[in-house]
Amino acid sequence: MFSFFEHSKKTSKNYSPEPLPKTIKSSLSDNLALLKQKTGKSPDIIIRSLKIGNQPKVKAAVVYVSGIVDTQTINEFLIEVLINYKEKPGNEAGQELIEKIAEEVVSVGSIKTETEWSSLFESLLSGNALIFIDGAAKALTAGTKGGEKRAIQEPSTQSTVRGSREGFTESMETNMAMVRRIIKNPNLWIESIKIGNQTRTDVSIMYINGSAESAVIEEVKKRLKKIKIDSILESGYIEQLIEDQTMSPFPTLYYTERPDIVAGNLLEGRVAVFINGTPFTLLAPAVFVQFFQASDDYYTRFDIATATRFLRAFIFLISLLGPATFVAAITYHHEMIPTTLLIVIAAQRESVPFPAIFEALIMEVTFEILREAGLRLPKAIGSTVSIVGGLVVGQAAVQAGIVSPTMLIIVAITAIASFATPSFAVAISARLLRFAFMICAASLGFYGIMLALFMMVAHLCSLRSFGIPYMAPFAPFMPGNLGDTLVRIPWWSMKKKTQLMNHKNIQESKNKKSQSLKT
């Protein structure tokens, strides 16, 4: 991956050896020739030449990229109307004719006059149609964005029992529209920039003016503007480029596929970053407890919601510490296990040839292999893998006496627990840290686990997401904001929205590493 970046950096230097001429010429053939030359005569760049007006007929051309435009709009509202335009152009020809066409003829929603090649190219490549008229040193861009898109479907990563079934799609416009449909408020503001020297990906930030802390908005904008990269293929690129701390297993930005989550977070004063081409939208700033909250919590009654949140915290602890605790207990702390249980475990371990930590590592790694294989395989083969995994690895390993049944149970519970964490982002951090905890447990027992836990908590407390302490509202302790953390108090008692965005808390990012990557 690293060499890939270096490679692409080199090509970016060689990109467009001849600089573009700044403005277009008045000769149509010159303009079209330049277009063809710059696009390498790619077959999907369609140049439709036509003649408009009556005596003399004026040469004109409609240029668009097939596939990313709405062909029907181009046919009916551009080409058809232009061909049918039979007015006398008069002697003014080019310059004024183009104004007239824009104002009186073409019937598409957005139309603009441009003179610069760079903006014309950008417009063309993002799905607009260009209209050139011979003799005019201007061109029209008509909004004809379209083409095939995925329909709105139920989100696959954050499904809920109760709640909206809509999920984001790859189209940024659709996604932002979905949020607009929820928050009908003129203060919902959107700002858009393009990132990526080559991909020119549309990135928009969305926030509620007045609700979001301006310092956070400025910080998000500043960090987005600082990005210097050739390509943005997914929101993960943006996340890694603008996050506060690269050297951390914990995510400091929240991503979601659900419009209702984005809307809820915008109302809490967060900033959403939409990236064209991915259904995953980023939310900043993120706090740790947020990753244990699901949209279901807000839709079900508060007692159930609170109970499930506690369950999730417990699940996270299991997925983090499960095997580590077991390994520590059976290699160091035999006195802590009740005698009867100890004898059962000891009986199972009589014939196991490996030390407990090695046994645990074997099973954990096997599970990770199965999981990775299940993820990549075609769905039809997936079930085969689970059978092989469940039977062969589980039962056969126990019968062969390589692992003990108790260890299998522990690993299985841990595996299930890691799937039950609502946010995949934090589930995979636990997955990674689990191994560190296991090694600490194997070398120092419970003492080692406690050491590692202290280090983890200290690290969590040191993290910041766009100036907001990651562990807020626990550290720093903000008693007023505890209503929507591990507990969710009833809606009527939530007097004000949780205000994590405290002006005093916002600090500059100290992460020099991620910034040096950007420049």
Partner 1 sequence: MKHKRSFFAFILISLTVVSGCWDKREMNELAFVSAFAVDLNEEGKYVGTFQIINPGNVAGGLQGGGGQNASITVYSAAGDNLLETEGHVSMKVSRDLYYAHTNLIIISEKVASEKGITELFDLFERAREFRTTTNVVLTRNSSAEEMLSVLTEKDKIPAEQIVNNLKGAEESQGEYQKITIDNVINSLITSGNEPLISAFSIKGEPKKGTKMENIQASQPEVRMEPNGLGVFKNGKLIDWLEGETARGTLWATDKVQATSLNITWKNKKDAIAYQVVRQKTKIAAQLKKDRPKISISVRAEGRIAEVSVSSDLTNPHTLAAIEKEVAKEIKEEIEKAIYHAQINKSDTFGFGDAIHRSHPDKWKKIKSEWNNEYFPSSDIEVKVEAFIRRTGLRTNSYLSDLEQ
What residues make contact with partner 1 under the rule CB under 8 A? Answer: 330-332, 334-335, 339, 342-352, 355-356, 398-399, 405, 439-440, 442-445, 448
Tokens of 140: 């029209």
Distance (Å, whole) CA 193 – CA 225: 8
Q: Of 119 and 443, which CB lies nearer to partner 1 in the complex structure?
A: 443
Least distance in Å: CB of 356 to partner 1? 6
Distance (Å, whole) CA 326 – CA 446: 10
Backbone angles phi, psi at 52, to 5 degrees: -125, 160
Q: Of 85 and 332, which CB lies nearer to partner 1 in the complex structure?
A: 332
Least distance in Å: CB of 395 to partner 1? 10
Strands of 196-263 (E only): list them: 201-208, 254-256
Which helix (DSSP H) or strand (DSSP E) does residue 284 occupy?
A: strand 281-284
Q: Of 103 and 335, which CB lies nearer to partner 1 in the complex structure?
A: 335
Least distance in Å: CB of 338 to partner 1? 9
Q: Of 331 and 386, which CB lies nearer to partner 1 in the complex structure?
A: 331
Least distance in Å: CB of 505 to partner 1? 26
**295 contacts 167 by C-beta, under 8 angstroms:** no
Neighbours of 231 (CB within 10 A): 16
Least distance in Å: CB of 245 to partner 1? 15
Q: Of 276 and 404, which CB lies nearer to partner 1 in the complex structure?
A: 404
Q: Of 264 and 448, which CB lies nearer to partner 1 in the complex structure?
A: 448
Tokens of 37: 């030359």
Q: Of 9 and 334, which CB lies nearer to partner 1 in the complex structure?
A: 334
Half-sphere exposure of 406 (CA within 13 A, CB side): 19
Q: Of 343 and 392, which CB lies nearer to partner 1 in the complex structure?
A: 343
Least distance in Å: CB of 355 to partner 1? 6
Alpha helices, DSSP H, located in 300-377 = 302-331, 339-349, 356-376
Least distance in Å: CB of 450 to partner 1? 13
Least distance in Å: CB of 176 to partner 1? 43
Least distance in Å: CB of 434 to partner 1? 17
114-122's contacts with Cβ under 8 Å and 24+ in sequence apart are: 114/138, 114/139, 114/140, 114/141, 115/23, 115/24, 115/139, 116/22, 116/23, 116/24, 117/20, 117/21, 117/22, 117/23, 117/24, 117/34, 118/20, 118/22, 120/24, 121/20, 121/38, 122/194, 122/200
Tokens of 252: 């400091």
Q: Of 197 and 331, which CB lies nearer to partner 1 in the complex structure?
A: 331
Distance (Å, whole) CA 316 – CA 379: 28
**120 contacts 114 by C-beta, under 8 angstroms:** yes
Angle at 273 between CA 269 and CA 275, to 5 degrees: 160
